Amino acid sequence: MGNEDTGKSVEGSLHFFHHCEGKPVIEMSEMHSEPNARTGEFRDIPVTLKDARRLAERPVLDREGFELGRFETAVSDFYDDDQITAIYYPEIAAFLKSATGATSVHIFDHTIRVQEDGKRTEKQARLPVAPIHNDYTEWSGPKRVRDVMPEAEAERYLGHRFTMVNVWRSIGESAERLPLAIADARTLLPDDFVASDLVYQDRKGEIFQVRHSMGQEWFYFPDMQPDEVVLLKCFDNAADCPARYTAHGTFENPLAGPHVPPRESIEVRTMISFAPPA
């Protein structure tokens, strides 16, 4: 796409959706530490993942659909929900306003993901997600706004340009064993996205699972530092934006040896409005 990677690439395997009779369904596990149940067929496909740090032009949300940000956090324990809501959420909101020019940021959720089985069970954290996906669809993005906001605020968001951005951070010693795999949004085809029901105990959502196609270009950020975050755009209501959805997942990094600690990470889900200030 005219943005060449001059660094080292990694040959990895990504877990893609392949086929399903009828609409695919993902049943979210009541026990957060256990895998979710999925219908349909999936295939592991070898891909080349380029080092996004070494691109000639740094990737940005509105072009590739992802970017790297940096800010220090005052959080001392990411497993303390009170610290996350009282300290980290305001830090994220201030950072996103500065980084994107948004007029308001609504933070509605976060998820801790832990690779190591014992700690994941102890903390009731979730597994890193291997299947390639995007968190929202044309239907579920606006629906989620109405689900989590008062009506007047929701209508203000929906009446102007808004985006849904996940903010991902490594909170362990290293994320090198299971890094994020992220696609350049411009290299996916409409048919690559497969709308799939996401079924919780109390509600139903919808995500895109993702098929592989030959033109896709994949990236990762090696050596994530404690003050770095990855921004992923999961929905944009601007139909003319090159990046409206960003396919992502995880992969086993062949460059990470057995001495590398298991991954621990947090993702914060946000809605960002560009409406004129109220």
| Range list of β-strands (E), the chain | 9-19, 25-27, 37-38, 41-51, 66-70, 104-114, 133-134, 162-170, 180-183, 193-199, 204-210, 218-220, 228-236, 248-250, 264-273
Confidence of residue 146 (pLDDT cuts 50, 70, 90): very high
Q: If residue 91 lies in a helix (H) or strand (E), which one and from where to where?
A: helix 89-100
pTM of the model: 0.94
Percent of the chain with pLDDT over 70: 97
* 110: β partners: 268
Residue 225 φ then ψ, to 5°: -95, 160
2 pLDDT more than 80: no
How high does pLDDT run on average in the chain? 95
4 pLDDT more than 80: no
d(CA 73, CA 238): 31
3 pLDDT more than 70: no
Annotated domain spans of the chain: 9-273
Confidence of residue 91 (pLDDT cuts 50, 70, 90): very high
5 pLDDT more than 80: no
Distances (CA, A) of 108 to 8, 228, 250, 251: 37, 21, 23, 27
221 pLDDT more than 90: yes
236-257 per-position pLDDT tens digit: 999 999 999 999 999 999 999 8
Confidence of residue 7 (pLDDT cuts 50, 70, 90): low
Rounded to an integer, the average pLDDT of 214-238 is 97
d(CA 58, CA 219): 12
Confidence of residue 6 (pLDDT cuts 50, 70, 90): very low
168 pLDDT more than 70: yes
